[in-house]
Amino acid sequence: MKPIGLVDGQLVDLNENVVPMEDRGHQFGDGVYEVTKVYNGHCFALKQHLDRLFRSLKELRIPAAYTPEELAEFHGNLIKESGITEGSVYLQITRGVAPRVHSFPDKVVPRLTMAIRPANPAANQELWANGAKVITAPDERWLRCDIKSLNLLGNILAKQKAKEAHCFEALMVRDGVVSEGSSSNFAVVKDGVIWTHPVNNLILKGVTRTIVVEELAPALDISVLEKGFSPEFMKTAQEAFLMGTSTEIMPVVGIDKAVVGDGTVGEITRKIQQAYVAKINRECKR
């Protein structure tokens, strides 16, 4: 097994210098990305990731230079050639290479880069089992968080704040409302109901979040309320959890210095977590 990359359809070694100096992703963050998990040699929820990718491209007015079928084939090629059966595929599309000007350049061709890396199976095992601690942080990001763009400085600063506090994640707070994590969506459980921020420009519509809200919770007969809530409300919840492609379903047992519920993983969180793992096993034939 070895990490490998792909540039505009051609497999490359990750150590190769393949990013031109005037790539607009390099100079402006002018591009979009997706990360898809690989389980048992299969991409999980790839269609949903590609659907979101094309939406992000459309919102930034970057032409689609590849079809969903071609991109799916590239994912398969990376898995096959790398030998990696448990890992993740990173995909990035920039507006292309052109002399540096702020406005969109004429006749520029979007540039695709991809890479596959193996997973670290033990990385989050203890946190999935017993729960993670998180902190709150001011949401200093731009107002189009619904686009999965390369502009992540606000996310990075919040994640670093969490790291320095020895926490797993930072929850973003804007105008007194908790939106999402720096690299995940977020939900609390109050009186048997899952609360999570509504889908709008202030959060990314996560693939894992969509699976939980539209599929897993209804199948378990658990009500979901897509409504904003304050940090004070959040800290009175009985349960809390993060949702994300890499995070999967991560129980939260502490927020800032407050204990969530009784400090253990709650019943509804565990049910959602188990249903998510079962869906992965079912669709990836594990």
- The residues annotated as belonging to the active site are 148
Global confidence as pTM = 0.96
Read off the pLDDT of residues 81-132 as tens digits, 9 standing for 90 and up. Answer: 999 999 999 999 999 999 999 999 999 999 999 999 999 988 899 999 999 9
φ/ψ bin of 213: left (φ > 0), alpha (ψ from -120 to 50), beta (otherwise): alpha
Q: What is the pLDDT of residues 30-89, one digit of tens each?
A: 999 999 999 999 999 999 999 999 999 999 999 999 999 999 999 999 999 999 999 999
Query: E strands, the chain, where?
Result: 4-7, 10-12, 31-39, 42-43, 87-94, 111-118, 132-138, 169-174, 177-181, 185-190, 193-196, 224-226, 239-244, 248-255, 258-259
